[in-house]
Structure 1
Amino acid sequence: MSEVTKDKTSQLLKKRGSISSVSSPDIKMKEIYGRTKDSVSTVSYADEPSHREDAPRPAVQMENTYQLGPSKCFPVNVVNHILKDVLTNYLQEEKYEPELCRQMTKTIAEVVKARVKDLMIPRYKLVVIIYIGPLENQSLHIGSRCLWDEASDTFSSFVFRNTSLFALATVYAVYLE
């Protein structure tokens, strides 16, 4: 190895730090360039998939897009049809029973959320709320409050009634910057 190559290698090692604790220049050259004086190639086994599967992957850092408004508006009418379809399919023949309705609210909320997510509307956070109660001669007032951007945030709602129960389904779509 020439003196110029040795000097460049030692400068490179000083800048990058030592790759190996072994002090032989041939081994350092082999680790840096993958060859020695005899030009023998080396193979690293760290690139095999079996070694990577066990290690957790680092979180991907996304760059800011600085997109302040949605590129595609939230389709309120389509979501209204989804709400109507899901509520009528699940509750058309049901009678009000508290335990059954408690489970039905969870099931209906998950189904609605999955169907709205299938629309692939980018950058919206979805909140699905389902109320089911007995249909008696009572009064019920339901209200909600949140911080709201009128230009990009929206909601969709549908009320269903049969002979023994009522259901109110609401999907809030909040734009995520």
Structure 2
Amino acid sequence: MEKVLEKLAVLHEGEDKHTRVVVQSKLPYIPKKSFLPGKVKEVITEVLREKLTGVQYDGEQAPYLVREIADEVKNRCKEFHFERYKIVVQAVIGETRGQGLQMAARCFWDKDTDDYTRDTFQNDNMFGIAAVFGLYMY
């Protein structure tokens, strides 16, 4: 960074007072490959089915199981090579006892590049929800 500032100072010394130096970012505004909510939703569906089909809810094992689900979804999303995207995975599992559950998420993002998807799973005694957020890093 110091070398850049030195070069700018040298440029400025030889010019008149009205010389303007414009520095532009080399980071791409538009991603080469956009976040693909449809493909990511397929991953979520597969992982939830694989991890929760035939499983009985166990409160002691739930923290480990939900972490496995989140990690597996994240690792499979990495295979899509979403360059310059931050992938955030949120997973929830719980016991089904006839209760209701509401889940919400809010964030600031760029509607042109950022997106999310989610899916749910339910069997006789438990439910699972996973959401994936793809946030483009400028």
User: How much has 1:69 moved relative to structure 2?
Assistant: 2.1
User: How much has 1:168 moved relative to structure 2?
Assistant: 0.4
Query: Which residue in the other structure is 2:107 paired with?
Result: 146
CA-based RMSD of the aligned residues comes to 1.4
1:58-110, CA deviations, whole angstroms, 9 ceiling, x for partnerless residues? Answer: xxxxxx52312212221111111111111101100111111211111111111
**Separation of aligned partners in 1, 2:27 and 2:63:** 41
The answer to whether 1:110 aligns with 2:82 is no
Query: Which residue in the other structure is 1:24 paired with?
Result: none
TM-score, normalisation: structure 2:
0.79
Query: Which SS does the other structure have where 1:107 is aligned?
Result: helix
**Separation of aligned partners in 2, 1:119 and 1:110:** 15
Query: Which SS does the other structure have where 1:99 is aligned?
Result: coil
**Separation of aligned partners in 2, 1:120 and 1:133:** 31
The residue identity in structure 2 corresponding to 1:90 is K
TM-score, normalisation: structure 1:
0.62
**Separation of aligned partners in 1, 2:41 and 2:29:** 26
User: How much has 1:161 moved relative to structure 2?
Assistant: 0.4
The answer to whether 1:77 aligns with 2:53 is no
- Report which of the two has the higher share of helix: 1
When Rg is computed on C-alpha atoms for both structures, the one with the higher figure is: 1
The answer to whether 1:165 aligns with 2:126 is yes
Query: Which residue in the other structure is 1:87 paired with?
Result: 48
The equivalences for 1:1-177 within 5 A come to 64-177=25-138
The residue identity in structure 2 corresponding to 1:100 is Q
Number of residue equivalences: 115
* Residue ranges of structure 1 left out of the alignment (5+ in a row): 1-63
**Separation of aligned partners in 2, 1:82 and 1:68:** 27
- Report which of the two has the higher share of strand: 2
> Structure 1: which 4+ aligned runs deviate by more than 6 Å?
none
The residue identity in structure 1 corresponding to 2:54 is E
Query: Which SS does the other structure have where 1:77 is aligned?
Result: helix
Q: Which has the higher contact order (CA 8 A, sep 6+)?
A: 2
